Structure 1
Amino acid sequence: MTELHYLDASTALGLFRRRELSPVELLQSLIHRIEEVNGGINALTETLFEDALPAAKKAAVRYARGRDVTPLLGLPVAAKEKHGLQGRTLSQGLVARRDTLAAANHPVIERIQRAGGIIHARTTTPELSCATVTHSPLWGVTRNPWNQRFSPGGSSGGSGAALAAGFAPLATASDIAGSTRLPASFTGTVGYKAPYGRIPGLAPLSADHYRGDGPMARTVADTALLANVMSGRHPGDHTTVADAAPMAPDPALVAGLRVALCIRLGNYPVAPDVEANTRRVAEALTAAGAVVEEIVLPWTVEEISRTMFTHFGYLLGPAMEDETAGSEPQLAAYTRRFMADARAAAEANRYVDGLRAETLLQGQLAEAMTGFDALLCPASAVPALDADAHYLDGIDANGQYLGHYWQAHMTAPFNIANRCPVLAVPSGMADCGIPTGVQIVGHPFDDATVFHLGAAVESALPWADRHPMAPEFAGHAGI
């Protein structure tokens, strides 16, 4: 039987509505779990139990009166710290901003609370969410519950670790180069990068077409549940598009779909265990009735990295420099390196050069996906990252030295192809004892298809009952 702290959101809602479980009971189990094991993984910046418990009691009263009309009523949600809560700290991991308070709720927080969700904990990030690992001078190192030697990834690493450890059934995340999909991959959870404009962000960087806020969960259905709540037009974000029909993942709808399998996305040096697990997912989809055909793409990690950092050089990099002016000595080394790389890329390339590179990549992807309903590929070429590393000198990827750690991850092309929905789902276990994941990439704004395919993978290769073993939380050993 599933332990209460690992109960999925959809099941919990059903139990609430049948009066078989109280939102207070679920929350109390999560509080106990957090108090028991968070010391070993450090996934949270703060807990909000004093506000969450009264909210859970109110939700229980509403269920008792038959007033369960909001989609998340009584469900605990862990919020990424960058998603501000009015009156609470909004530091984004910066020591110099540790006392800064949010003036208002972030749009996704506003929607979660309106839907009855209860924010009971906030999750760690690297500084300004700009790294592929999750550690900072302010909060320390966040570790992967599956093996504490390794990172849960970044920048939504706290959310991924919290879900994997049983701290919440749902969590918020964000993604500008893979910051949702990488933590999902490394923690055995599900992460969704929505098409740009689907989910509202916070001005002014809501206008950055690489970025997007979104959901993480332990199941495909729960991820869709939270995505449905988050999505739709918002007056504070001019880029948001018209509301879409709610997503309802159905594995039965996969039969006959055509899926392009691309292992390397060009020349990414994919590790053997990552490749084997990706092919296992492709075989599962074939068994579910999909037609899977392997393709190649003409991309290189070097060109993708150049394109990405040119973009960062004109938007995120300058914004980070504004945020950190005067506090440079207090910054993590990876933050200083990121800003320097972005600055150098802007000096070497004009903004229009970046746009030309972006549209070339987008066109190549569209051509490769012609005749297919979706594309399947790994989320990361490397199966793991050390928890406390900075990777300032690059990374060894399957015996090949790469000059920048982002060149080891296969997520950024789909921030460049920013209207494509991408769902990251577990694909298996790496040789080092932590999960691996795949990306399911859809055509622009075809969110439903990636969720149907994700549900089929989940049905064929169930992962919901696989969790980190309790002894791992006592030290830094793996399974």
Structure 2
Amino acid sequence: MSEIVTLGASQLTAGFRQRTLSPVEVMCAVLDRVTKLDPVVNAFCALDEEGAMSAASEAERRWMRGEPCGPLDGVPVSVKDLVAVAGLPTRHGSWTTSPDREMADAPAVARLRRAGAIPFGKTTTSEFGNKIVTDCPLTGATRNPWDTRLSPGGSSGGSAVAVALGMGPLSLATDGGGSIRIPACWSGVVGFKPTFGLVPAGSATSWTALSTLGPMARNVPDAALMLDAMTHETLNGGSVTGGWSRYAGMLDDSIAGLRIAYCAAPAGISVKSPIAECVGRQASTFAALGTRVDETEVVPLADFYGDGRMHSIQWSVFFAQRVRHMEEADRTLLDPDLKALADAGAQVNTATFADALFARHALAASMETFFQHHDLLLTPTFHCGPPPVSGLPAHLRQAPVLTAWCNQAGLPAISVPCGFAGDLPVGLQIIGPRGSDALVLRAARAYELARGDFPAPTGELQLPGDMEIAP
């Protein structure tokens, strides 16, 4: 991997400020990287090379004048293809959508642009973000950067792979049940799901009432910097330490004295031994940082995993609603997994759906009580490794058990690489109460510093001879 594409956002802007790097040089390196690697991993479904190079030239002129427009000026960012980017189509991974270019950015993208970031391409997703692997009839399957025979997870798999392989340091993704954290875990990057509603989604992106937008990056400071940009309507100058910086500016504060709960696996969840052992070793890291770590069961989750299928019920109903007005000709174009999900949702009666919503409210209230006694919760991000490309095995068709409940309760949660199970990365999930986004990021950064640098995949990729990317 060339040196430029290994640099994070803050390193890039430092180079721009010192004039040892230029935005044009960086954008060229990123686009060259995409040209080299994307034919193998299929992380991108659309690029705006001309627009990106023009924006990079403008950013370069601003840096040469010493007048950056914001803290991300000239930094490339990719955007999951569920989120609108002006000048590019939003296909949602579906043949049923329009190929016309968007006239305006989604709110979060607009804020990233105002901070100087350059949205240069759209990343792959499962159709309408319906499942935890990234394959769909429109764009085919996306591959894991550590082993191309495997899935990177989903539905933000394209974003995770792009970041992992140096095809841009930042990506904007969405998470409706684990869609940021799961591919971050399986691809070895950082993925943060903020408190519900913190990042403006716009009506087109929040239709499930469970999904929220969040950053993916190779390190926690870059994720925090991106979150700062997306949660502020105006930015004054290029300093990342100004008064507007609620997240990046507090990362170095101590976490000593925090009360941290560690749950290796909620009741009834079988976590693969290598993953459990890898995550279990991280508790001692937090103890060494001066926190009080208590291994405990998370009692409020018992109903979620027991008889309360709250996430699966809501998810299926929302997708039934999403496709109910489609013409029959369009319905025949849908991913069979999505059709099965929507058909299941169409069979849910009003009482069952209302029960699921009540269970959601009860879980959120119970977790508020839980976090009166604990500041943060540590769990594995996922209980097993990634499945083969393509398809979704039967044992992974239920709601992702360690991540989806955070969406139900609206909690902030981050996945940070914490080691390997065999040759594949493992994710540590750090969860906090609603509104504790800064604390979650601070704890993740403290852990990241204690852990040390995490390796990146080599980029020496080969497409398995018996498999194709094209649908």
How far is 1:429 from its partner? 1.2
Aligned pair in 2 of structure 1 residues 366, 109: CA closer, same or farther (>3 Å)? Answer: same
User: 3-state DSSP class of the match of 2:223?
Assistant: helix
> For 1:413, which of 405, 412, 428 is the aligned residue?
405
Please state whether the residue corresponding to 1:183 is helix, strand or coil: helix
Q: State the Cα distance separating 1:102 from its structure 2 match.
A: 2.6
Label 1:289 to 1:385 Cα distance change in 2 as closer, same or farther (>3 A).
Answer: same
Task: Work out whether residues 374 and 443 of structure 1, in 8 Å CA contact, stay in contact via their aligned partners in 2.
Answer: yes
Deviations 1:110-148 (A, max 9, x none): 111111111122100010011110011111110011111
Matched, 1:317 2:308: no
Residue equivalent to 2:361:
359
Aligned counterparts of 1:446 and 1:105: Cα–Cα separation in 2: 28
Residues 1:422 and 2:413 aligned together: yes
Tell me the residue number matched to 2:239.
Answer: none
- For structure 2, the residue ranges without an aligned partner over 5 or more in a row are 235-243, 467-471
2:445 aligns with one of 455, 463, 469: 455
Structure 1: give runs of 5+ residues left out of the alignment.
235-242, 396-403
What is the CA distance between 1:79 and its match in structure 2?
A: 0.9
Q: Which moved more, 1:103-112 or 1:125-134?
A: 103-112
For 2:268 and 2:233, locate their aligned partners in 1 and report how far apart those are by CA, in whole Å: 38
Whole-angstrom distance in 1 between the partners of 2:351 and 2:388? 32
Q: TM-score, normalised by structure 2?
A: 0.91
Whichever residue aligns with residue 52 of structure 2, its letter is: A
What residue in structure 2 maps to residue 283 of structure 1? 284
| AA of the residue aligned to 2:420 | M
* Equivalent in the alignment of 1:261: 262
Q: 1:204 to 1:75 in 2, by over 3 A?
A: closer
Contact 1:23 1:60 in 2 (8 A): yes
Name the CA distance, whole Å, in 2 between partners of 1:20 and 1:371: 49
Alpha-carbon deviation of 1:266?
Answer: 2.6
Cα 1:292/1:351, change in 2 over 3 Å: same
Tell me whether 285-294 or 163-172 shows the greater mean CA deviation.
Answer: 285-294
Equivalent-residue separation in structure 2 for 1:251 and 1:427 (angstroms): 19
**Aligned match of 1:62:** 62
What amino acid maps onto 1:334 in structure 2?
Answer: D
Tell me by how many angstroms 1:472 deviates: 2.9
Equivalent residue number for residue 470 of structure 1:
459
Matched, 1:438 2:428: yes
Question: What is the distance in 2 between the residues matched to 1:462 and 1:301?
Answer: 35
Q: Deviations over 1:362-389 (max 9, x none)?
A: 2332333332110011111112122202
* 1:221 matched residue in structure 2: 221
The within-5 A match list for 1:309-348 is 309-322=312-325, 326-344=329-347, 346-347=348-349
Contact 1:185/1:436 (8 A) holds in 2: yes
In structure 2, how many angstroms separate the alpha carbons of the residues matched to 1:304 and 1:116? Answer: 48
Distance 1:353 1:371 in 2: 28
Do structure 1's residue 19 and structure 2's residue 9 form an aligned pair? no
Q: Is the partner of 1:68 in helix, strand or coil?
A: coil
Distance 1:286 1:267, change over 3 A: same
How many pairs does the alignment contain?
Answer: 455
Instruction: Tell me how far apart the structure 2 counterparts of residues 347 and 69 of structure 1 sit (CA, whole Å).
Output: 52
Q: Which residue of 2 aligns with 1:398?
A: none
Cα distance in structure 2, aligned partners of 1:355 and 1:457: 35
The Cα shift of 1:94 comes to 0.9
| Identity %, equivalent residues | 30
| 3-state DSSP of counterpart to 1:229 | helix
CA distance in 2, matches of 1:80, 1:377: 26
Q: CA deviation at 1:183?
A: 0.9
Query: The residue matched to 2:426 in structure 1 has which SS?
Result: strand
Deviates more, 1:358-367 or 1:14-23: 358-367
Matches for 1:130-279 after TM superposition, within 5 Å: 130-203=130-203, 206=206, 208-232=208-232, 245-279=246-280
1:361-376 aligned at under 5 Å gives the runs: 361-376=363-378
The 3 A distance-change label for structure 1 pair 304 and 311 is farther
Query: 1:182–1:325: structure 2 CA closer, same or farther, 3 Å change rule?
Result: farther
Moved over 6 A (4+): none
Structure 1 letter corresponding to 2:91: S
Q: Is the 8 A contact 1:79 1:123 kept in 2?
A: yes
The whole-number CA distance in structure 2 between the counterparts of 1:324 and 1:94 is 14
1:99-118 superposed matches below 5 A: 99-118=99-118
How far 1:252 sits from its partner (Å)? Answer: 4.7
- Tell me if structure 2 keeps the 8 A contact 1:267–1:301: no
Change (3 A) 1:475 1:460: farther
How far did residue 333 of structure 1 move?
Answer: 1.5
CA distance in 1, matches of 2:245, 2:75: 23
Q: Is residue 148–residue 463 contact of structure 2 (8 Å, CA) maintained in 1?
A: no
CA gap 1:348/1:150 in 2 versus in 1, 3 angstroms: farther
Contact 2:51–2:120 under 8 Å retained in 1? yes
Q: Quick check: 2:56–2:118 contact (8 Å CA) kept in 1? A: yes
SS at match of 1:206: coil
* Larger mean Cα displacement after TM superposition, 101-110 or 211-220: 101-110
Between the aligned partners of 2:404 and 2:133, the Cα distance in structure 1 is 15
The alignment's TM-score, normalised by the length of structure 1, stands at 0.89
Q: Give RMSD over aligned pairs.
A: 2.3
Of 306-315 and 179-188, the range deviating more from structure 2: 306-315
